[in-house]
C-alpha cells in the first residue's frame, strides 16, 4: 500500500502550479495597475472641478479670457516640460491629429498633462486636455493610464460622456481607441 507521493508526482504538481501562477500573475498585476490608474483618474476629476471653480470666480471681470485664465490656473501645477513623450491608442495605433498633443508638462504630482485650446471654439467646446495619471512611466496608452477631458466654457467633461454605454465599452476594448475609457471607468465600467 502506497503511503505518500513520489518525487515525480510532487514535481509534476509543482510544475503545474508554476504554470498556472505564470499565466494568472500578469493578468492580476495588469488589473491591479489598471485599478490604481482608474482611482487616480477619479481623483483628478475632483481636482479639475476645483480648478474650474477657481476659473469661474474670475468671470466677473469684464476682460475675462477663458483661455488665459485656464493657463494661469494651470501654471502653478506645472513642474517642467516632458520630452520625448509618445501616446498610443488602446488598439496600438497612433492618435489622429485631434488627439495628438504637442506640449507635454510634468505636474507637481508627477503626472503628465497637455492642453490643446482651439483657436476657434467648436460651439461651446474650448479645447481638449489629456492627463497621464502615472506620468511618463509606461504604458502611455489612452484608456490605460492616459485619460482626457473636453474643456467647455462652463465645465470640464470626460471624453465620450454623452455617448451610449455600448459605444464606450467598445472603445475601451483592445480593438478601440481607449478615449471613451475617460468616462466609462468613472461610471463603473470594467477593464
H or E element: which one contains 122?
Answer: strand 112-122
- Asked whether the beta carbons of 159 and 46 are under 8 A apart, the reply is no
pTM, whole model, 2 decimals? 0.76
H or E element: which one contains 79?
Answer: strand 78-81
pLDDT (mean) for 164-182: 94
Residue 152: per-residue pLDDT? 86
Distance separating alpha carbons of residues 32 and 3, to the nearest angstrom: 42
pLDDT tier at 171, thresholds 50, 70, 90? very high
pLDDT (mean) for 157-179: 94
Residue 6: per-residue pLDDT? 84
Lowest mean pLDDT among 30-34, 158-162, 165-169: 30-34
Q: What is the DSSP letter of 48?
A: H
**pLDDT tens for residues 49-84?**
666 666 666 666 666 666 677 777 777 778 888 888
For residue 173 the three cell numbers come to 476594448
Amino acid at each position: 500500500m502506497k503511503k505518500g507521493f513520489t518525487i515525480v508526482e510532487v514535481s509534476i504538481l509543482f510544475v503545474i502550479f508554476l504554470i498556472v501562477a505564470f499565466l494568472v500573475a500578469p493578468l492580476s498585476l495588469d488589473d491591479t495597475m489598471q485599478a490604481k490608474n482608474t482611482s487616480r483618474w477619479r481623483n483628478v476629476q475632483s481636482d479639475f472641478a476645483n480648478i474650474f471653480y477657481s476659473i469661474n470666480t474670475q468671470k466677473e471681470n469684464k476682460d475675462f479670457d477663458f483661455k488665459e485664465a485656464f493657463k494661469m490656473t494651470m501654471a502653478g501645477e506645472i513642474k517642467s516640460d516632458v520630452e520625448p513623450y509618445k501616446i498610443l491608442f488602446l488598439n496600438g495605433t497612433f492618435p489622429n491629429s485631434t488627439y495628438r498633443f504637442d506640449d507635454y508638462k510634468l505636474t507637481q504630482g508627477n503626472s503628465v498633462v497637455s492642453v490643446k485650446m482651439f483657436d476657434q471654439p467648436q460651439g461651446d467646446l474650448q479645447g481638449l486636455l489629456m492627463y497621464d495619471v502615472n506620468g511618463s512611466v509606461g504604458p502611455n496608452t489612452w484608456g490605460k493610464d492616459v485619460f482626457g477631458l473636453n474643456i467647455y466654457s462652463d465645465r470640464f467633461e470626460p471624453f465620450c460622456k454623452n455617448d451610449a454605454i455600448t459605444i464606450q465599452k467598445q472603445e475601451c476594448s483592445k480593438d478601440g481607441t481607449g478615449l471613451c475609457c475617460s468616462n466609462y471607468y468613472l461610471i463603473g465600467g470594467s477593464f
